[in-house]
Each structure stands twice: as C-alpha cells, then as structure tokens.
Amino acid sequence: MRHQPRRDSRGILDPHRLLRRVRLRRCLPAAALLPYVEHYWLVDWRLTEPFVQRVVPHPAVNVVFARHDDAPETAQIAGVGLRLLSITLAGSGQVCGVQFRPGGFRPYWRRSVAELTGRRQPLTTGPGAADPTGAGAPPRAAVGGAVCEGTDDERCAALDAVLTAWAPEPDPVADEVIALVEKIRADRNILRVSDFARRHDSSVRRLQRLFLEYVGVGPKWVIRRYRLQEAIEQAAGGPQDWAALASDLGYSDQAHLVREFTAVTGVSPAAYARSLG
C-alpha cells in the first residue's frame, strides 16, 4: 500500500508552466478508500488573465468539486476522457478532485462505467447509498458544508466523508480489474492485449468486457494511453532519440509514435519538446 501520492506529471502538458500559475497538491484518501481512490487533487488559483491548461486524460473517472470566484460550488462526475482536455482558468477559484483508480468507481456507480465515458454530468444525478435505485445522489450532507473550504486537511476530510457515506459496494471483480490495470501501468513490456490475456489465463473477449464495464474503455486503449503518457513525460525532458523511445514503448517505429503523439496532443513529440525549452 502506498504511503505517498504519486509525484509524476503524466497526462499534464507543460507541467512546469501549470505549476507557475496554480497551486496543485495531491493527497491520499483515508485508508479504507485506498482500494478505490488513486488520490485527491487540490488546485487553487488567483489569476490576472485567463490561463489554458491541456491534459491527456487517464483511464480513470474523476469526481470534481469546484468553486469559481463567488459562485456556488458545483460537483461533477467526469468519465474517462477520450480526447485532449482543454481547461480554462480565470479569476480565482478552488477545485477538490477525486481521481479514482481505473475500475475503482464501479463499486460506487454499481453499473457499467462505460455509460460515463467521454461525458460529464452533475453529481446530483449520480447513484448513492441512500437510493438503491441509483437515481439519487450520494449523501453530500455528510460534509456539513462546501467541500472546497478550509485547509487542505479539512478539504480532504470532506472528500473522505462524501466517499465513505456513498458506501461503495464490495466487488471482487473490481479488485481484479484494478490489479490488471495497475500491471499495465507499471510494466511497459505489456504491449498486446492477446499476450496480456494469456498471461492471466483469460480470453481477450473477457478482458474487453470487463474493462468496458469497470474502466469505461477497452484494454487496448488503456495500454496505448499509458504508453503515450510516458512518451509525453519523456518528451518534456527535452529532445530524445525518438526512434529508441518508440521502440522502448512498444511502437512499431518512430513514425507510429509521431502519428499517435500528434493525433492526441496536436503537435509532434519533437515540436512539443522544443516548445518547453
């Protein structure tokens, strides 16, 4: 079990530029929530001009509480994003986000997570423990107020209260899927779904079904997304031997890496590396 949240910047384009303009912190949830939650992420900003941040989404569901200037706090469920996400920040504000582990939102949602993929919806339409039909909302009243108020510890405690009161439903299949996705993330030698399925005594069809229901996207998409995020992180370090990087990450050749990198981010890996210099 991890004792610290991850420190990598995967998925964030030009992370140093982001950190010069906003305060970003990651915190771990309460121990009982660690099987489901990757980390909490807290963002605060006070800007004199609008700032645009681009993010290559992880294969994960997020629940996001946000407050901008003096407007009331909002809450959304964000399914797995299939495209580059562009976020504009202006004025002042706070965000308290929950990044679930891939597969970890299914015990809360209690039906196929694929219905959320590529979508955002108000949290008030989500399922909750107080309403077994799935038509109601998780009991935010457990917080006793806004989530985006107070110290970091108080904001994390408010998120703990929401998720604990929402009462995830134990699901051994979710545990299996979460472990499978973690292996894909950690082992860059996993390149083909067929090989991965054989290694785990499963069929490709079963993996596809489980990943769609529990993660929201298929296993091939997960593999490619993690490898691309690693390529983006490597490119942020400056010009690379792109052919060697492509081979290392399982792309068929340098051109394959360039095509996929450009299709998702809008720029080639070389152009991205130069833009950060």
Q: Which secondary-structure segment (H or E) carries 87?
A: strand 85-89
Domains in the chain (CATH in brackets) are: 15-166 (no CATH), 172-275 (1.10.10.60)
Which among 267, 242, 270 has a CA at the least distance from the CA of 256? 242
* Predicted local confidence at residue 129, as pLDDT: 38
DSSP 14: S
pLDDT at residue number 131: 44
In whole angstroms, give the CA distance from residue 12 to residue 57. 8
Helix (H, G, I), strand (E, B) or coil at 105: coil
In which residue are the tokens 């904001």 written? Answer: 155
One digit per residue, the tens of pLDDT, for the chain of length 277 reads 556 888 888 899 999 999 999 999 999 999 999 999 999 999 999 999 999 999 999 999 999 999 999 899 999 999 999 999 999 999 999 999 999 999 999 999 999 999 999 999 988 644 443 443 343 455 555 555 689 999 999 999 999 999 999 889 899 999 999 999 999 999 988 989 999 999 999 999 999 999 999 999 999 999 999 999 999 998 888 888 999 999 988 888 999 999 999 999 999 999 999 988 5
- Model pTM? 0.91
CB neighbours (10 Å) of residue 182?
Answer: 14
CA–CA dist 259, 32 (Å, integer): 42
